Amino acid sequence: MTAIAPADFGRVAVLMGGWSSERPVSLRSGAAVLQALVEAGVDAHGVDVDRRVDRVLRDGGYDRVFNVLHGAGGEDGTIQGLLEVLGLPYTGSGVTASAVSMDKMLSKRIWRAAGLPTPPFMRLTADTDWGRVVKALGLPLMVKPVAEGSSIGMTRVDDAAALPAAWRHAAESGGEVMAEAWIEGAEYTVAILDGEALPVICVETPRGFYDYEAKYRADDTRYLCPCGLPAEAEDEVQRLALAAFRTLGARGWGRMDLLRDGDGKFWLIELNTVPGMTDHSLVPKAAAAAGMDFQALVLRILATTLTEDSGHVG
């Protein structure tokens, strides 16, 4: 690939903030990305996204967008649709893949149809027969919002009597709620960048699961890279992550979260199409293990907007 000069990117809008429950994380991710781009000599400008972002982008004279909006509005196809209308190339997946990946039940249905392994699940409502859920999925199980990230609204349920409260907690997000069979085993994450799987990270936390506290606040969460898997198993999980990424039509970059059970089988949990870029985030850690510092990572992600499949290219 021909060397890219900072000036080749033109004027770049770094979209952050937004109105989702992940706004605080997005602001931190966006600030880190913006600083790296500016220090690299890119003409980058932070945009704290609100409902008038279309005017800001129309009037700002931008040539492309680095999207660091997490959650609803930024990771679900909404901002991607606007950027397509405005004719602005942008980082990450397009409209359809973003919407599909944000919907955990839909993405799991697609993986299952493609023969890819993902834990059994059920949709939950106020009228759900909780006994039927336990019979179908067993205990423990995970209750989570269908369209939230950063482990917001998630509850591990060990007793059937706790299911209604777990459902109410997840439903506070305002969208659909699902239950997923619990996979007892180690958690792994695979960062994907421009068609390549980066080194696998094993996540260890003393908490019940890798929740919001463990992701963004706790100092006792361990990120193992090398991940400790035999070479064949690491290759297997990288290939599975890439297959799942492509099956959803994702592009550019992302992060696949998986679990490995006691029999050594890997299970797909979810795809994050706009992963965190904070000092606790996993994609920068995987990039560092591949010999890429944060600035190089950010520039490589932005460089994907120069290709023909990175949204509208005029």
The tens digit of pLDDT for each residue in 179-220 reads 999 999 999 999 999 999 999 999 997 655 555 555 555 567
Tell me, yes or no, if 270 is annotated catalytic.
Answer: yes
Residue 260 and residue 131 share a domain:
no
Instruction: Please identify every stretch of the chain with a pLDDT value under 70, giving residue numbers as ranges.
Output: 1-2, 149-151, 206-219, 308-314
Tell me, yes or no, if 272 is annotated catalytic.
Answer: yes
CATH of residue 53: 3.40.50.20
Active-site choice (18, 74, 92, 276): 276
Residue 285 and residue 190 share a domain:
yes
Active-site choice (26, 150, 173, 281): 150
Residue 200 and residue 271 share a domain:
yes
Tell me, yes or no, if 255 is annotated catalytic.
Answer: yes
In a domain, 280, yes or no: yes
State pTM to two decimals: 0.91
Spatial CA neighbour of 256 closest among 232, 280, 283: 283
In a domain, 265, yes or no: yes
Q: How many domains does the chain have?
A: 3
pLDDT for 226: 94
Active-site choice (23, 28, 255, 260): 255
Residue 255 and residue 299 share a domain:
no
**Domain hosting residue 173, numbered range:** 121-181
Tell me, yes or no, if 207 is annotated catalytic.
Answer: no
Residue 215 and residue 113 share a domain:
yes
Tell me, yes or no, if 216 is annotated catalytic.
Answer: yes
Residue 149 and residue 224 share a domain:
no
Residue 177 and residue 257 share a domain:
no
Residue 242 and residue 106 share a domain:
yes
Q: Where are the alpha helices (DSSP H) in the chain?
A: 23-39, 53-59, 78-86, 95-102, 104-113, 130-137, 163-171, 212-216, 231-247, 282-289, 294-303
Tell me, yes or no, if 204 is annotated catalytic.
Answer: no
Instruction: For residue range 114-152, list pLDDT tens digits in order.
Output: 999 999 999 999 999 999 999 999 999 999 999 876 567
pLDDT over 70, % of the chain: 91
Active-site choice (20, 93, 101, 272): 272
Q: Residue 26, Cβ neighbours under 10 Å: how many?
A: 30
